[in-house]
Structure 1
Amino acid sequence: MSETLQIDRQIFIEKRKEDALHAAQSFALQMSCGIDLLQVTAATTETKAVIAAKLNRLIKRERLKGLNKHWSYDINRHIALKQAQQRILNMIATDKDAHSPMQSKTI
């Protein structure tokens, strides 16, 4: 019983951390580029790819600001954009895996 309780506790803590990270990324993305992460989750794969490309451009611009030591460069924004882009790319990969036909193996 105690072992099961410990496992459930660990799962709960990990879920809370994931939820907090998701909320922070969603807020940062909404504030910095006007993209709602919840709407992206429900979007089509093509729309997600367009948003990922937009994030790629924003990351490049942020990187250039950092390299040029521009006063408006913010490393936290840079990190948040990169994390959001990675989350969206993971969604795209998941969508492709879910929609790919099962290939039968021939022997």
Structure 2
Amino acid sequence: MAHIDWIKERQAFLATREAERASARQRLALQIFCGEDLDTIITFSAADRLNYCRRLKRLIERERIKGGKGHWSYDLNRHIGLKQALDTLQKSMQVSVRAD
């Protein structure tokens, strides 16, 4: 195997692994805080997804406040996971609007 091929495969592997980590972070944050799976939420109606977006925004704001105050229970990974889950949910809403 050529050196360049090895480098490309390594980069692809690392990108895939990072995407899987981000997905796991989102799913865990949603499962803990909302008790729902991301795939399940994406299949909900537009109104329900909008309600979940509002809920996630409130949770993100709470995490931001805890982080700003230096609270012992603040978790950056949870904050990132909630934000990524919100972004994914908002993207799914944009896709469904375009499809309609």
TM-score (norm 2): 0.75
Gaps of 5+ in 1: 1-8, 100-107
Q: How many residues align?
A: 92
| Aligned twin of 1:47 | 48
The ranges of structure 1 where at least 4 consecutive aligned residues each deviate by more than 4 angstroms after the TM superposition are 12-20
1:19 to 1:42, Cα distance in 2 relative to 1, 3 A: farther
Whichever of the two has the greater Rg, that structure is: 1
- Point out which structure has higher relative CO (alpha carbons under 8 A, 6+ apart): 2
| Aligned twin of 1:69 | 70
Comparing both structures, which one devotes a greater share of its residues to helix?
Answer: 2
| Aligned twin of 2:95 | 94
Q: Cα distance, 1:60 vs. partner?
A: 0.4
Moved more, 34-43 or 17-26: 17-26
Identity %: 37
Q: Cα distance, 1:15 vs. partner?
A: 6.5
Q: Match of 1:82, as an amino acid?
A: K
